[in-house]
Structure 1
Amino acid sequence: MTMTQPLTADGVGASARRPDADAKVRGDFAYSSDLWHDAMAWGATVRSPHPHARVVSVDASAALALPGVHAGLTAADVPGVNRYGLEKRDQPVLAEDVVRYVGEPVAVVAADTPELARRAAGLVEVAYEPLPALTDPERALESPALHEGGNLVRHLRIRRGALARADVVVTGEYEVGMQDQAFLGPESCLAVPAEEGVELYCSTQWLHIDQDQLAGCLALPKEHVRLTLSGVGGAFGGREDLSVQAHACLLALRLGRPVKMSYGREESFAGHVHRHPARMRYEHGATRDGRLLYVKADILLDGGAYASTSAAVTGNAACFATGPYEVPAVEIDCRSVYTNNPPAGAMRGFGAVQVCFGHESQMDKLAAALGMDPVELRLRNAVSTGSTMATGQRVEGPAPVAELLRRVADRPLPPPAADDPRLLPGGTSNSTRADRLVRGVGYGLSVKNICKSAGYDDYGTARVRLFAHEGEAVAEVHTAAAEVGQGLVTVQAQIARTELEVARVTILPADTEVGDAGTSSASRQTWMSGGAVRAACLAVRARLLERAAALLGEPAGALTIGGGAVTSSARSITLAELLAEGDVDETAVFRHRFTEALDPETGQGDAHVAYAFAAHRAVVDVDPELGSVRVVEIACAQDVGRAINPVAVEGQMHGGIAQGLGLAVMEEIRLRDGRILNPSFTDYLIPTTMDMPPTVLDILELPRPDSPYGLTGVGEPPLLSAPAAIAAAIRDAVGPAAAAALDRIPMTPEAVATAVLDA
C-alpha cells in the first residue's frame, strides 16, 4: 500500500475521523425514518397486485369513512404533470389508466397514525382488468408495446475495425440476475407545507433532480419546492429515482399539515429500482499466441416497466463490454427493453458489472482453449496509457492494468482449509468436511468511467464562508452534495482545512438553497463537489490575501497563509483579525472537460472523463457434492489516483467486495410472473460477517494530471470484477466439465451441485 502524506492535520491525505461515526455506532444518528413533526399525519400507498392491468376504477370512500383518515388521492389529484423520470418522464406519480408492474402506486392515503394509514390503504377499492404480462425480455421487441413508441428503450451499436479471421474462437452465453441495492434504511421522508410551496426532508442521491421532477408534478416553481437532505441509510443507486417524495408532498399540500411516509422492507423492494438483469452472448477471436483480434457481443438488459436510467446503463454496458483489453475490432450491440417486471435502474457499477462477468468469463474460456495461464492472457492484452478503447477514445492518464493484476496474482495463497466449521462451506451447520473440499482460484479485471459521460454537462457547486468566532477563524461549507455513507462530508472538511489551513470547519446540511451538486453516483462526488469546495476555498483565500495585502502594505503574492495567520516578511496578522472587517464568502462552480455523445451508428466518441481500473483475485473452497461455496480470500488492487482519506478508501473497497460477493453467490431478486418472491432480508440473502473472507487490499496511488489533488473516483471499481473473479474461482474448483454449465450469477449451491452432477 502506497500512501502520500497529508498536507495538513486532518487535511487531504489524512484518515480523518468521520463526524457522524460516534452517533452511527451508538445508534444515535438521525436517519430519514427518524424524522418527526408534532402535527404530522402519516401517508401510505395503495399498490397494484398485477404486473399489467387496466385500472377500471378507484374508490377511497371506505377508507375516508374511518375516523382519523384525512385524504385519499388518485391520479386525478396530481396538480401538475403526472409523470416523472430521470432520463425520460414516463412514470406516473399515481397510475392513471394502466399499471405496468406489481407494486405500482395507484393511490395514497393520509391518517393520524401509521397503523391507521395502512388500514385505510387496505380499504381503498381498485377494480382492475388484467392484461397480458410481458415478463421475458427476449420477447419484448416482438410483443405489443407497453409504452408509446415500442418496447425498445435504447439500442447502442459500437463498431470499430474490421473483423479478422482468428486462429481460436470461443463463444459463450451468460446471465446476471436482478440484484437489490439492499440499503439498510428504507425510503422515508417528511413533507411540510410552506407559505408558497412545500419543504421536503428526504434521503436521496440528488436533491436538485428531485426538485426539478417534483416541481413539475406539483405545478410549483422550483424555488417553491425546497429539499433538505436527511440521514441516508445507504443508497448504491437505489435512491436516484423518486419514491415517497411526490406522494408525501401531494398529501401535505392537500392537508395543509406535515406528512411523513416510511416504507417497510417489503414495500421498499417494490418502491425502488434494482440492478438490470442481463443476458449476454459473446464471441472472442484471438491468435494462437493469445492476442485478441476481435470481440462480438449481443447484450440484452431488462429495464422493467419504466425507463429510469436504462438508456445510460445501456451506454455503459456497451462501452465496457470488451473490458480493459486492447481489441482491434469490436462489434457490440446492447439493448434495453421495457417489460412488466419491476423497474431496473442505477446500481453501483451501472452496467459495467454485468458485462464484466461476460468478458472475464470469455477470457478464462479463451485461456483454456489456448492452453494458456489466464493471468498471462490478460497481461498480454491489457490496456495501458495511450491505448484505444472500444469507442475509439484514447486512455489518458494512468492505466496500470497489468500492474494491478500482477499485484494480486503475486500474493501468497492462503493455507488449506482447517477443519473448523466456521471456515467451511455451510458454516456451523457442520454440513461438510475439510477433506472433501476442492479449492479454486480466479481472476477478474475491470474498467469503468468516472463522472458523468456522453455529453452530459457535469459540474458541482460549493459555497464557502470564512468567519471569526471566539477569536478563531471558522470555515463553513455548503453544498447540495448527498452524503450517502461514503464519507463525503468528511472529505469536504478535509479540503477546507487544507486550502484555508483552519482547524474548525462546519459542513452545513445539504439542501437546494445552494447550486446543484449533481448526483452521488458515478464515483464523481469527491472529484466534482470536492473540486467545487476547493475552488471556493481558493477564492476565499485570494480574498483574504488581498485584504491582508492592504493592511500589511505588501503585495498579495509575497504573503503566505499558515498557522491561523497571514504572514509577510516583516509581520503577520491572524485570520481572526482579518475577518474583523467582515466574513469572506465565495461560491464556485467546478466543471470537468466536456465529453461527447457517442455516434449513433458506430458508437465512437470521447464519451468519458476518465477511466478507473481494478483487479481481483478470489480463492474459494467448494463442496462439490452439496454445491456450497466458501470464499476464502479476496485480494483487490486498485488505482485511486490519490487517497484523499485512506481509511475511507479502504471502507469503499471492503463494501464493494461485499456487494460483489453477494452478487456472485447469493443475491438475486426472484420473480414469478412479474411478482417479487423474496422481498425480505430473510429470503433475499446478503452477505453477513460470517460470509465475508479476509480481504487483502493494495491501494496504488498514481495521481492524475486533470483532477483535484490527482484523485480518481473509488466507489465502484472494488465491486466490478469481484463477482467475475469469484465465479472464475468456482469454475476452477469444480473442473472444466462442470464449469461449462456455470454461466450465470449468482452461482447458488443448487446451480453448482447440478453442474457437478451433470458433468
Structure 2
Amino acid sequence: MTTSTERPSLTRLGKGLRRLEAVDKVTGRANYTHHVSLPGMLHAKIVRSHVAHGRLLGVNVEEARAVPGVIGVYTGADILTVIPEPYYGPAFHDQPILAIDKVRYVGEPLAVVVAESPHVAEDAAGLVMADIEELPAVLDEVEAMHSDIYVHDSLRPAGTFADLKHLSGIRDTNVALTFGVKKGNVDEAFARAHRVFKNTFKTQQVMHVPLEPMVSVADVRHSHAYVYTASQTPSFARTEIARLLGWRENQVTIKTAFLGGGFGCKLYVKLEPLAVALSMLCHRPVRVALTMAEQFYTITRHPTTFRIESAVDESGRITARRCEVLWNGGAYADIGPRVTQKSGFTAPGPYDIEHVDVSSVAIYTNRPPAGAFRGFGIPQLVWAYESQADIIARALGQDPLEFRLRNVLSDGKRHATGTVMQDAAIPAVLKRLAERFGWDQAIERGTGRKRRGRGIGVGIKACVSPTTSVAAVSVAADGSCSVQGNTVDMGQGSDTVMAMIVSEVIGVPAESVSVVSPDTDASPYDMATLGSRSTFHMGHAVRLAAEDALAKLQAMAREVGVDRVDPNDLGMLFVRKFGMQAGTIIGTGVYKPTYQSPDKQTGQSEDITPNWMIGGCAMEVEVDTETGMYTILRMENVVDCGTALNPLVVDTQISGSAIMQLGTVTLEEMEFDEQGQLRNAGLSEYKIPGIQDIPRYIGREAVDAYQANGPFGGKGVGESAAFGVASSLAAAIEDAVGVRITDLPIRPEKIWAGLQARQGQESTQ
C-alpha cells in the first residue's frame, strides 16, 4: 500500500469498544478446545524421561498394557509404523514425536498410554519402565558453546522460513545458528574511546503459564486428519501435519477456538503430531491434554547470557558497542534460531551508535526446549543494554534520562542494521514517560532502614518479517458481515479489532460483524499469531478484503441502479439484485510487507522490518536495607503503537504485558539441579504474580503517534510494555541502596547479599 503521513479521519476506529466476546467469556459460554468431546474419544497420558541425556535402550510397557481400560501403550517404534520420518520443528526437523534412540532432556516424551479414561491412562503410565543408559549432559549455554558433549549429532533444516533458508547448523558443536551484525570499525573505536564499559547480564528460564494448558484432539479417518487444537498457528499446523503424513494440505483440517492464553507457547506444533499418530494407531479420536506441570517440559523462554561492551566519548555519546548474546535453546530448536536472528539484531538497543559488532548465537543444551515467549527475546536484551545504560550514566555523573535522549535513535537515522528509522517514537516515549513520572522532580529518599530510588528504561522491537496474511470478508444478504482468517484470539482482542476494521471500511456497526474461529478448510492462510503482528499484518489483509467487498457492493449498486451504497440498508441491494434475500459478496485481501534479507556477513539490510514497537517503563521503589525486601511504589508504562485502533484494549494490553513481565523479573524461575531435574514444575512451587505482588498504581499510556504504513496508522502493542520493566526496577534499586543486580530474577536475597558485600568493602577501606 502507499503510505501517507496524513492521518485519515476515522469514524469507528480509535474509539474504545468492549471486546465482542466479553459476555460469552464472563458467563462461561465461550468455546475452548478443552470443551471438545468426540464420539469414541480416547485419552492419552505421556510417560517422560527421568534423565537429561541418554541412550534409550528399551521401554517396558507390558504391565501398563494389562491395566483394564487401556487401549494401547506406544513408543517411538510404534510411531515409526505410521509416520516413517516422525521429526518436526519450524527451524530444524530435530524433535521426534516420541523419543527414538536417545533422550535429550528430563521430561522428554518417550511413551504414551491411551485409555478410555484419563484417570486410567494416568495410573497405567506410572507402570511404564524405561531403560536408559545415562550420558553426560550439558545444561548451561556458556558451557555448551565450547563443550564436546553434543546434544545432536546432525541437523536437518526445516526450510520453513524464507529468511532462514540458509540454516544448516554447525556439526560437532551445539550451535544451531550464529547471526551477526557489523557496522563500522569497533576495534578502532574502542582504542580511541574516552571510557569503555564491559558487563555481563543473565536471564533465567521461565515458562509462559497460560491458564489453559495445551490440548489437541485428533480424529484420523478415511485418509483425512481432523485436528482440534489450542494453537496460535493453525495454518502452520496444517502444513506440518501434511508434511509428516506425506498428504496434501486439503487432507488435513485444523480447527481452533478461543485460547486461554498463549504468549508464544502454543506456536507451530506441540501436541498435534502426537495426537494424529495416536489416532492412526488406535483408529479412534484421541485427546492429548497437558497438566499445568507438564507444560514446563514442553516449551519455555530462553535463558541468556549477554556480554556487552560499550565505548563512550567525553560528552557521554556511545561511539561503539560489541554484543555477544548466547541463547540457551534447550534440547530442540523450535523457533529459537528465528528468535536469535530477529531479536539479536536489536542487541545494540534503541541507540544511534556508529560502530557495532553483534554476535547472536542459538545453542542446544539438555534442558527443556525454548522458543517464542511474549517479546520474542527482546525483554532479555533490553534487560542488558538498559542496565548498562544506567551503569554508564551513573559512572559519568549524568542523568539517566538525559543520557538516553542524547544517544537515542530518531526518525531518519539508521539502525545498526542500516534500516532507516521511520515512525519510531522513541524520544516521544521517553519524554512522555518522564512527564508522567515527574522525572524532573526530586523524590523523597527515605530515612533509616527504608530507602527509595527510581529508574527508567526503553526498548525497541522489530516487527517480524517476512510474513503473509490472507483474509476474506463476506457480506450476507441481510447486510451483516463475517471475517475469515487464521489469526487466533488468545485474549489480545484481535477478533474485536478485525470487526472494527470492517466496520470502518464498509460502514456497518462492529457488532454486526462476526469473526469466524480459525478452520483451515474455510479460513485463509495466516503465518502466525505472534510477535504483535496481527493488528499490522492481518489488519491490512482484513482492510483490503473489506475494501474489495465494498467495491463489489458498489458495482452491484450501479448494476441495480442505486447511486450509493447505504451501509444501513445493504440488504436492499441483494433484494434488488436477486429478487429476494439471497446471495453473498466475498472480498479477499492479501498482505505481505516488503523485506530485504540481511547480508550474511554483515547483517546489513535497508528494509529489516515494516515497523518498530517501542515501550518504556519508569519505577519508584522502596528497599529495606536490613532485609533486601522491596516494594514497587509506582510503575509507569508508555508505548508507541501508532494509532490506538481500540484504546480500551490497548490500555489493558499495556498493563497486562507489564504485569506478566514483572513476574519474570521478580518471582519466576525454573530451578534445575545439576542433573537437569526441574524442581518446581507446577503452580504450587513456581510462583506467578498475585494481586499482592503487583504495584498499587500502574500507569499506562500510548503516545500520540502514527504509523504511516500501518492499517489506519496502527501497529501492535501486546509486547511493548514488557521491554523496560526489568532494567528500570534494577536501576531503581541501585538508586535506592547502591546495589546493582545483573542476573534475573531480582529477589530480596540478592539485594541483601549485595548490601552485605558492600558493607564488607566499606569496613575494609
Taking structure 2 as the reference length, the TM-score comes to 0.90
Find the counterpart in structure 2 of residue 429 from structure 1.
none
2:255 corresponds to which letter in structure 1? Answer: T
Identify the residue that residue 747 of structure 2 maps to in structure 1. Answer: 748
Contact kept? 1:544, 1:584, Cα under 8 Å: no
Deviates more, 1:174-183 or 1:588-597: 588-597
Cα offset, 1:200, TM superposition: 1.0
Change (3 A) 1:578 1:722: farther
Aligned match for 2:722, one of 716, 719, 737: 719
| Equivalent residue number for residue 504 of structure 2 | 498
SS at match of 1:126: strand
Three-state SS of the structure 1 residue aligned to 2:374 is: coil
Is contact 1:161–1:329 with CA below 8 Å preserved after alignment?
yes
Q: Does 1:585 align with 2:585?
A: yes
Of 668, 674, 677, the residue aligned with 2:679 is 677
Alignment match, 2:321 = 295
1:542 maps to which of 546, 551, 554 = 551
Write the deviation string for residues 205-248 of structure 1: whole angstroms up to 9, x where unpaired.
10011122222333433221211013311011111142222222
- 1:455-604 paired onto structure 2 within 5 Å: 456=466, 458-468=467-477, 472-503=478-509, 504-513=512-521, 514-552=523-561, 559-565=564-570, 577=576, 580=580, 582-604=582-604
Measured after TM superposition, the shift of residue 577 of structure 1 is 4.6
Q: How far off is 1:412 after superposition?
A: 4.6
Q: Deviations over 1:124-151 (max 9, x none)?
A: 2221111111112212233232211231
Q: Secondary structure at the match of 1:662?
A: helix
Q: Point out where structure 2 has 5 or more consecutive residues left out of the alignment.
A: 1-6, 155-170, 759-765
Matches within 5 A, 1:389-404: 389-396=415-422, 398-404=423-429
Change (3 A) 1:574 1:47: same
Over residues 450-497 of structure 1, what are the superposed CA-to-partner deviations in whole Å (9 max), with x where a residue is unaligned?
A: 1x23xx3x11111211112xxx31112111111111111111211122
Counterpart CA distance in 2 for 1:392 and 1:591 is 24
Contact 2:557–2:573, Cα closer than 8 Å, also in 1: no
Equivalence map 1:150-165=2 (5 Å): 150-163=173-186, 164=189, 165=192
Alignment of 1:445-464 (within 5 A): 445-450=458-463, 452-453=464-465, 456=466, 458-464=467-473
**Residue 227 (str. 1) matches residue 254 (str. 2):** yes
Deviation at 1:661, TM superposition (A): 1.0
Q: Secondary structure at the match of 1:563?
A: helix
Change (3 A) 1:366 1:578: farther
Total equivalences in the alignment = 717
The amino acid across from 2:101 in the alignment is D
Letter in 1 for 2:498: Q
- The 1-side partners of 2:587 and 2:473 are apart by 6
Amino acid at match of 1:646: P
Letter in 2 for 1:505: V
SS in 2 for 1:444: strand
Aligned partners of 1:375, 1:174: CA distance in 2, in Å? Answer: 21
Q: Give the aligned residue type for 2:324.
A: D
Aligned counterpart, 1:137: 141
1:561 offset after TM fit, Å?
3.8
Deviation of 1:603 after TM superposition, in Å, equals 1.3
Cα pair 2:557 2:565 within 8 Å, conserved = no
Q: Is the 8 A contact 2:575 2:582 kept in 1?
A: no
Distance 2:640 2:8 in 1: 17
- Correspondence for 1:114: 118
Following superposition, the deviation at residue 176 of structure 1 comes to 0.9
Deviates more, 1:633-642 or 1:590-599: 590-599
Are 1:202 and 2:211 counterparts?
Answer: no
- Residue type of the partner of 1:188? V
Q: Distance in 1 between matches of 2:589 and 2:506?
A: 18
1:217 corresponds in structure 2 to 244
CA distance in 1, matches of 2:309, 2:107: 38
Amino acid at match of 1:243: K
The letter for the 1-side match of 2:436 is: R
Letter in 2 for 1:691: D
State the Cα deviation string for residues 725-745 of structure 1 (Å, max 9, x = none): 11211121112xx22xx1111
Distance in 2 of aligned mates of 1:389 and 1:181: 30
- The answer to whether the Cα contact below 8 Å between 1:168 and 1:370 also exists between their aligned partners in 2 is no
Q: Which residue of 2 aligns with 1:311?
A: 337
Are residues 1:325 and 2:326 paired?
no
Relative to 1, partners in 2 of residues 1:292 and 1:300: Cα closer, same or farther, differing over 3 Å?
same
- Cα distance in 2 between the residues matched to 1:135 and 1:360: 27
Residue 763 of structure 2 is matched in structure 1 by: none
Call closer, same or farther: CA 1:753–1:483 in 2, change over 3 Å.
Answer: same
Q: What whole-Å deviation, never above 9, does each CA across 1:610-644 have from its counterpart, x for those lacking one?
A: 11112211111111221112111111111111111
| Identical-residue share of aligned pairs (%) | 31
**2:549–2:588 contact (8 Å) kept in structure 1:** no
Q: Shift in Å at residue 574 of structure 1? A: 5.2
Q: Which amino acid aligns with 2:628?
A: G
SS in 2 for 1:242: coil
Aligned in 2, Cα 1:593/1:505: closer, same or farther, shift over 3 Å?
closer
State the alpha-carbon separation in 1 of the partners of residues 471 and 437 from structure 2. Answer: 46
Contact 1:304/1:343 (<8 A) preserved: yes
CA deviation after TM superposition for structure 1 residue 576, in Å: 5.7
Residues 152-195 of structure 1: CA deviation (Å, up to 9, x unaligned): 01111211012321112211111111121111111112222343
Once the two structures are TM-superposed, the CA of residue 581 in structure 1 deviates from its matched residue by: 7.4
Pair 7,348 (structure 1): closer, same or farther in 2 beyond 3 Å: same
- SS of the residue corresponding to residue 218 of structure 2 reads strand
Task: For 1:115 and 1:614, locate their aligned partners in 2 and report how far apart those are by CA, in whole Å.
Answer: 46
Contact persistence 2:479–2:570 (CA under 8 A)? no
Q: Give the stretch that moved more between structures: 695-704 or 474-483.
A: 695-704
Secondary structure at the aligned position of 1:55 is classed as: strand
Moved more, 79-88 or 28-37: 28-37
SS class of match (1:440)? strand
8 A contact 1:465–1:583 mirrored in 2: no
AA aligned to 1:403 is A
Detail structure 1 runs of 4+ shifted over 4 Å in the superposition.
Answer: 412-418, 573-582
Report SS of the residue matched to 2:475.
strand
Q: Is the 8 A contact 2:575 2:581 kept in 1?
A: no
Amino acid at match of 1:182: V
Contact 1:641–1:711 (Cα < 8 Å) also in 2: yes
Match of 1:421 in 2: none
Offset at residue 265 of structure 1 (A)? 1.4
Query: Does the CA contact (< 8 Å) of 1:198 and 1:253 recur in 2?
Result: no
Q: Report the Cα offset of residue 669 of structure 1.
A: 1.1
CA deviations 1:571-594 (Å, max 9, x no partner) are xx5566557474333352422332
Greater mean alpha carbon deviation, residues 536-545 or residues 186-195: 186-195
Q: Which runs of structure 2 are paired with 1:676-695 in the superposition (5 Å)?
A: 676-693=678-695, 694-695=697-698
Q: Structure 1 residues 205 and 181 mapped into 2: Cα distance closer, same or farther (>3 Å)?
A: same
Deviation, structure 1 residue 28: 3.8
Find the aligned partners of 2:735 and 2:432 in 1 and give their Cα distance.
Answer: 20
**Match for 2:680: what amino acid?**
N
- Aligned residue for 1:682, secondary structure, equals coil
8 Å CA contact 2:182–2:357 kept in 1: the answer is: yes
Q: Is the 8 A contact 1:317 1:354 kept in 2?
A: no
Whole-angstrom CA distance in 1 between matches of 2:387 and 2:443: 26
User: Any gaps of 5 or more consecutive residues in structure 1?
Assistant: 419-432, 567-572
Q: Is the CA contact (8 Å cut-off) linking 1:108 and 1:247 kept in structure 2?
A: no
How far is the alpha carbon of 1:295 from its aligned partner?
Answer: 0.7
Counterpart-to-counterpart distance in 2, 1:628 and 1:22: 40
Match of 1:699 among 698, 702, 707: 702
Counterpart of 2:387? 361
- Residues 565/756 of structure 1: CA separation in 2 closer, same or farther (3 Å cut): same
* 2:208 paired residue number: 181
Deviations 1:86-115 (A, max 9, x none): 111110011110000011111112101111
